[in-house]
Amino acid sequence: MYPQLAYVWRNYRLVCGRLNGRKGDYEDVLDPFIVENGWFVLDFQSMQIKPAVNLRQAQAAAVKATIDRLRLNDDDTCVEARQEWITQYCKNPGIPFEMLRRYAPFIAMELERQGMQESIKKIYGTK
């Protein structure tokens, strides 16, 4: 959409190719560098990402638009990947929390924020 920005460093964002492709030329996706911790919330029962309840109306709308545009709750890709990380963490005692923090930072952050680092194992460890 803006060819003059093709090689401008601030135009690059770290994201997988699938989500970058979904973003395309749309401008309703939040820039990851302005998103604050806690804007996106992970519901561990459904593995769905939702806007936090304490956001202002405009922030909540922007978070919802980002979730929808990037299809972050797409069962075939994003939800399954989150499910797999949680299942492996819960069932495999050899996976330390630090590994989850490194390879699935959003999941780790949400486990910490919600105080579920250990209680999640009771939910997913028996499945």
- The CA distance from 39 to 61, in Å, is 11
For the chain, domain boundaries: 28-124
Q: Please write the tens of the pLDDT for every residue from 9-58.
A: 666 665 677 887 888 778 888 988 788 999 999 999 999 999 999 999 99
Transcribe 31-65 into DSSP letters: PTTTPPTTSEEEETTTTEEEE-TTS-HHHHHHHHH
Q: Whole-prediction pTM value?
A: 0.82
Q: Please write the tens of the pLDDT for every residue from 65-87.
A: 999 999 999 888 899 999 999 99
- The CA distance from 92 to 11, in Å, is 39
Q: Please report the pLDDT score of residue 127 as a whole number.
A: 45
Q: What is the mean pLDDT of the chain?
A: 87
**Helix 80-91 to helix 105-113 angle, to the nearest 10 degrees?**
70
